[in-house]
Amino acid sequence: MQVSVDDVRVLRFDDGTPVTAASAVAPLGGGWLVAQDDSTAAAWQRAGRIDPLRLLPPVEGHDRFTEAAGTKRLKPDLEVACPTDVDGRPAVLLLGSGSTGRRMRGVLVELADGRPVVSVADLGPLYARVADRLGLPLDQLNLEGAARTGTTLRWFQRGNLAAGVPSASVDVPVAALVEVLLGRAQPDAVAVADPRTYDLGEVGGVGLAVTDAVALPDGRLLLSAAAEDTPNAVDDGPVVATALVLVDDAQVVAVAPVPEVDGRVQKVEGLAMRRVGDGSVQLLAVVDADDPGAPSVQLDLRVVLG
């Protein structure tokens, strides 16, 4: 397997302010919805422009959260964006990482007559059940990626080998999650099944850990993974390398590095499928620079499966 970077774009809103901490991406309304894990708003990229889209109300008066300002603990930390639908209308499901109690919310963005409609729900009981199925204490939960495979969402725990936590996943039904976000069901009604663990290897003594995933037509998954030297699920650390990993069920089939851009490691945190064919896959990726003043970038990746 080989990965190449076909294009690199800096993400800025139309008023010039940067899109920061890009953590997930999904198609919406002929464009792309990009989650920012340090904000209550997403970036809606369409028709040659990028506009903010409010997802959550301010938290203690804040809409953006940084360690320097002492507000990082307040952030909603939305790390998953998954395409879905509501009664046949296109929608995107966004999910927090669960790494603190404040990060256990879900957001549903649906398009009604082309306009976004946002629904929010507290999913604390669901996150507790996911941690239980993965055999983790709740304070080690860090759900940073997901891939939709038919009617199922495969939801990924970002591992941390330094803390003895492997990358892992559980399966939950997408429709049930949507029902909860619409207020039609309770979070504890969502089934959590089929826990899996993944051995993604390491780079320079730092374990690769999953940051997002996309499903291929043949049922296999492509995972993005980062080797980030951090002791826990909350603090950032230096990222020594990133890679894409092809898995079949829980078996690693191939690992390939994501090329550096201008000599910098690209911490891919979100993946979306663009097209598949002729033994290759074209992906849209978003990169979190772990710098609150730096705009995120978007990569066009080409993956030759071999």
Average pLDDT per 10 consecutive residues for the chain, totaling 306 residues: 97 96 96 97 95 96 92 94 94 97 96 94 97 95 96 95 90 97 95 97 90 96 91 70 96 96 94 93 93 92 93
For the entire predicted model, the pTM comes to 0.95
For residue 267, give every residue at least 6 positions away whose Cβ sits within 8 Å of its Cβ, in sequence order, or none.
211, 226, 228, 239, 242, 287, 288, 289, 290
In this predicted structure, what is the pLDDT of residue 223?
A: 98
Q: What pLDDT does residue 235 have?
A: 64
Residue 267 is predicted with a pLDDT of 93
**pLDDT of 160:** 87
Q: What is the pLDDT of residue 219?
A: 94
Nearest partner of 76 among 34, 107, 108, 119, judged by Cα = 107
Domain extent listing, the chain: 2-304
Please, are residues 20 and 4 in contact by the beta-carbon 8 Å criterion? no
Half-sphere exposure of 189 (CA within 13 A, CB side): 12
Q: Residue 129: phi, psi to the nearest 5?
A: -70, -35
Architecture of domain 2-304: 6 Propeller (2.120)
Structural tokens at position 168: 């892992």
Closest by Cα among 238, 161, 174 to 201: 161
From residue 224, give the alpha-carbon distance in Å to each of 16, 166, 210, 272.
Answer: 29, 15, 6, 11
The Cα diameter of the chain in Å comes to: 51
